[in-house]
Each structure stands twice: as C-alpha cells, then as structure tokens.
Amino acid sequence: MTECLIALGGNMGDVASTFAAALELLAGHDDITVRNVSRCFVTEPVGSDAGDSYLNAAARLETTLDPTRLLEATKQVEAELGRGPHHATWAPRSVDLDLITCGNTVLENHRLKIPHPGCWYRRFVLDPLCRIAPTTKHPILNRTFEELRNRLLPRPLPVWLDLPDREQTIQELRQQFPQIHWASGPEDVADTGLTLPGSPAPPDSLVDVLAAATGSVELANPIPNWPESQGPRSELESGLES
C-alpha cells in the first residue's frame, strides 16, 4: 500500500457536501482507503477569473493503485460530481482533486507530475496538509509540509527574485503585494520566505505564485460526516486551539 496525499478545492455550490461525496466515492473504490481528512479552510481565490472564495481540504489515502491509475480514479470522481474534463487553471469549480504526493514517487509525464509542482508555495494546499500530515516530506525538497508552510508565515514575507529584470519586476509588483519584503540577496531567505522562480518550477505565473503564498487562509468547519482525523501533531498545531 502506498500513502498518497490529495488536495480538495472548490467554490461552486455546496462545496463541503461535494467534498463529502468525493470522499465517499474514493472510499468506495476497492483499491483506496481514506485514512485521514482535514477540516476545511476558507481561502482567497487566486487568478482574476477564479470567482468567489474557495473551500480547501486535504486527505491521506492508502492505495494499491499506481499514480496514473489513482489520477484516473480521482478524475472519475470529479466527473461523477459534475466537473467537466476541460477547464481553465483558475476557473470556478464544484470540486477539484489534486494528487500532491504518492509515497516518495517522483514522476513527470504529459498527464501527471508527482509531487504536485505547485504544492510548495500554495497556502491553500499546505495549511490543510499540515492538519493531517505535517511531518510528511516533500520528495524533492526534502522538507516537511510543516516546514514549507512555516516559511510562508512571516509578514512581511521575504521574497528573493532570481531574475535578470529583478528591479523592474519589483517595481511592477510592489503596490500589488505590500505584504512582501523584497530581499536584497538569497541569504535573506535562507530560513524563511521564498526564492522565485524556484524549484520545482512553478506551474503558475509569478503574480499567481505570490498570491497563492500570501492569500488569506482561515480554518473552517469539518467536512460533513468526515470529522477531522489528524496525523502526527506539528509543533505549531499542538499549541493552537482546534
């Protein structure tokens, strides 16, 4: 059995109930067991066409399926819940199921990238993951999801832009992102913050990366009929009220 992490997101209809239906369908698959489920988070939409605020959550699965077959299973669940096969990256949606990790697998082909190339800077992915798998390590970065999330918590957030037109880009972005401290060198982000473009290469534009890293993330209710069952408690979470 392989432990896999998935991220759930949506902003159309009764999203929490749709999450519950998605988990029921996954749990009903002969080769998938749903082990842990996070509470929902209300998160700020990313992208100019993303629509209203999102709900996001995460789940830990155990499966005998390889990553490609697991992807097919999640896409079938999305289809059964009304999501079409063709959609824009940041378009409004009823439900989105993203594979984040599948054990220590590192995979890249025309259909699938594992680990998910955007998971290391997206707060709407990292915060739910930290409820159920804070000590799980990103297979490429060799940092836990708690460590990746904690790097994004300081305000202002230090960001080092490793770009040839760095100064011009900062001037263009400064007003849009007042919560960012534009670092003067990579040493300023050794322990916290971001180096961009970064590695693995983000699938998003620079503006969307920054929005995903700095957007608001608020803990909300559990998924109906799926009370949160947490993995090992992180140092930060153990000091906070649930």
User: Does the pLDDT of residue 48 top 90, yes or no?
Assistant: no
The tokens 């790097």 sit on which residue? 151
Q: 75 — phi, psi (to 5°)?
A: -65, -35
User: Sign (positive/negative) of CA torsion 80, 81, 82, 88?
Assistant: negative
| pLDDT band, very low/low/confident/very high, at 133 (cuts 50, 70, 90) | very high
Q: What is the pLDDT of residues 221-231, one digit of tens each?
A: 999 999 997 65
The whole-number pLDDT of residue 238 equals: 45
User: Does the pLDDT of residue 242 top 70, yes or no?
Assistant: no
Q: Domains of the chain, with CATH numbers? A: 2-153+215-235 (3.30.70.560)
User: Sign (positive/negative) of CA torsion 63, 226, 16, 230?
Assistant: negative
Q: What is the pLDDT of residues 169-195, one digit of tens each?
A: 999 999 999 999 999 999 999 999 999
User: Does the pLDDT of residue 90 top 80, yes or no?
Assistant: no
Active site members: 83, 93, 96, 98
* pTM of the predicted model as reported, rounded to 2 decimal places: 0.93
